Amino acid sequence: MTEPDANPFEPADSHFASVPTPDVWLDERGARCPAPVIALARAAFTRPAGTVVAVMAIDPAAGTDIPAWCRLKGAEYLGELPPRDGGEGMAYVVRTGAAE
Amino acid sequence: MTTEGRRASDLLSAARSSLASSLGGVPDGLHLAAGGGHAVAEGLVGLLEGMWAAGQAPPALVVSSVDHSAALRVARWWRSLGHPVHTVNVDSVGSFDAAEVVELALGSGPSVVCVQLANGEVGTLQPAQDVLAQLAGTESFTLLDATACAGRIPLPSGWSALAADATSWCGPRGVGVLLTSTSSPWRVREPALEPELAVAPMVAAAAALEQVLASREVDNAHSFGLVARLRRELPLLVDDLDVPGDPDSRLPHVLTVSALYADGESIVRRLDDLGLAVGSGSACANDSGEPSHVLAAMGALTGGNVRLVLPVTAADPALDQAVDQFLLTFPDVVRSVRTMMGAP
């Protein structure tokens, strides 16, 4: 996890953000597929349903596999947050479903 | 010409006639390519340039998001020249809507439309026949992409050009076929398309196609049942498995599955060690490092992906045993890769 002020994906003004404010940030920018999805699953299964989790990732498979994970596991895919500093990667935001 | 040279030339000419007639065309319209992707690209570019030469403005190009990567490369090139390109999206099983394609094509004026007959990655059959029928006699000319299925399923008529690949009928690798109809605006590019193909692969491709066509109905019923069994049983043996594509309206012999929390490269390598050859649309298993554009367009899981393309029985008499072995080994392979990955 990253300090909030070191997090380039954290919206500057959450009031106007396109997705709900994440409760948990996972930094998977150094990881390759399927590690970001595994990190998301581990985070989801240890927290109450309805937790908003953001996964920061650079691997191109994350953009398709995180929404696909939501469909397979009954979670809700909320959208992406691009980096404000124009850097690499994306934060994918998910609301977890019932824990398994 | 020597006797030997004449004999080679006769063999080649017989192979060309056989290929053209098996695929529903005429030998004069047969052009050879280095593979299916090459045939798709040359077909589209030849139609675009031929139409432009005959008309005032560059034609529009219509493709779908699950088209052959060679078609999508042509689309990027055509767009980069500032010409109109329209991309049709697909539903969750990877199928495009015929009405949407026809409306886009007719609304674009003179256009070239890439029409996929079946998707080679997920097996989904496309409503290609509807598109060809509705665009007949209009200003829209079609390339029928049959690279995944020529020989294996009946080909509709009414195309301006047809692209095929000998591997789809268990023929040799590196033989692509482009057929153009007599009324097609397709024109040959300079330098000429035809690569120097040896006589042997051409003769082999033509003979393999004749053989596959002769036993097609029996082979298809058999393959369809084997894939149906895999689609039914694999999700019972492996948790968190995505089986994309249309379960019914599909090619008889293609199956793709994606396992959560596993990487395609490791699965493919382990199956390969066990003597089972499979493909993968996962990013880590591709040279490009990009996940399969087909799976991504459908919203399917791209990680842990494995693709099986069943050969005809004549090419592999032990097909049933291979499927049995796959059902036996795949669950263990996925389990061991997941353990290695630290899956939850």
Answer whether residue A100 is part of any domain.
Answer: no
pLDDT of residue A18: 79
For chain A, what is the domain count? 1
Beta-sheet strands, E only, within chain A: 24-28, 52-57, 76-81, 90-95
The two structure tokens encoding residue B9: 């030339």
Is the CA virtual torsion A29, A35, A41, A42 positive or negative?
A: negative
A13 min Cα distance to partner chain B (Å) = 30
Residue B237 neighbours by CB under 8 Å, 6+ apart: B327, B330, B331
Distance CA B300, CA B278 (A): 19
- Cβ distance B270 to B249 under 8 Å? no
- Asked if A1 has any chain B CB less than 8 Å from its own CB, the reply is no
CA distances A33 to A26, A66, B93, B241, B245, Å, are: 14, 10, 23, 16, 22
- Cβ distance B160 to B184 under 8 Å? yes
- Asked if A38 has any chain B CB less than 8 Å from its own CB, the reply is yes
- Cβ <8 Å between A67 and B284: no
Answer whether residue A57 is part of any domain.
Answer: yes
Could you count the other beta carbons within 10 Å of the beta carbon of residue B190? 6
- Cβ <8 Å between B341 and A38: yes
Q: Reading across the β-sheet that carries A52-57, which strands appear in turn?
A: A24-28, A52-57, A90-95, A76-81
CA distances B39 to B62, B76, B193, B199, Å, are: 17, 17, 9, 19
Its ipTM equals 0.87
Distance CA B72, CA B79 (A): 10
- Asked if A42 has any chain B CB less than 8 Å from its own CB, the reply is yes
- Cβ distance B332 to B128 under 8 Å? no
- Gap between the terminal Cα atoms of chain B: 71
Instruction: Report phi then psi at B292, rounded to 5.
Output: -55, 125
Answer whether residue A40 is part of any domain.
Answer: yes
A16 min Cα distance to partner chain B (Å) = 28
pLDDT of residue B278: 86
Instruction: Report phi then psi at B220, rounded to 5.
Output: -65, -40
Of A33, A64, A71, the CB nearest to B295: A64
Which domains, ranges and CATH numbers included, belong to chain B?
A: 3-214 (3.40.640.10), 216-341 (3.90.1150.10)
Distance CA B333, CA B149 (A): 29
Of A42, A65, A73, the CB nearest to B303: A65
- Please report, for the domain that includes residue A88, its CATH number: 3.30.110.40
pLDDT of residue B197: 65
- Cβ <8 Å between A64 and B343: no
- Cβ <8 Å between B299 and A37: no
Average pLDDT for consecutive 10-residue bins of chain B (344 residues)? 81 93 94 93 96 93 97 98 98 98 97 98 97 97 98 97 96 94 84 66 95 95 96 96 96 96 93 84 77 95 93 83 93 96 92
pLDDT of residue B276: 77
Give residue A34's domain range: 4-95
- Asked if B295 has any chain A CB less than 8 Å from its own CB, the reply is yes
- Asked if B344 has any chain A CB less than 8 Å from its own CB, the reply is yes
- Cβ distance B52 to B59 under 8 Å? yes
Answer whether residue A37 is part of any domain.
Answer: yes
Answer whether residue A31 is part of any domain.
Answer: yes
- Cβ <8 Å between B263 and A33: yes
Task: Give the count of alpha carbons within 13 A of A8, CB side only.
Answer: 13
- Cβ <8 Å between B299 and A68: yes
The residue to which tokens 């009414």 are assigned: B158
Q: Is A33 a catalytic residue?
A: yes
Closest residue of chain B to A40, computed from CA coordinates: B344
pLDDT at A2 over 60: no
Residue A90 neighbours by CB under 8 Å, 6+ apart: A9, A56, A57, A58, A62, A63, A80, A81, A82, A83
Answer whether residue A8 is part of any domain.
Answer: yes
Contacts of A73 in chain B (CB under 8 A): 240
State the best of B65, B66, B260, B341 to mutate against chain A, taking most chain A CBs within 10 Å: B260
Burial call B93-111: b when 16+ CB within 10 Å, e when fewer: bbbbbbeebbebbeebebb
Residue B338 neighbours by CB under 8 Å, 6+ apart: B259, B261, B262
The model's pTM is: 0.92
Q: Using one digit for the tens of pLDDT, what is the confidence trace for A65-98?
A: 999 999 999 999 999 999 988 889 999 999 998 6
pLDDT of residue B196: 63
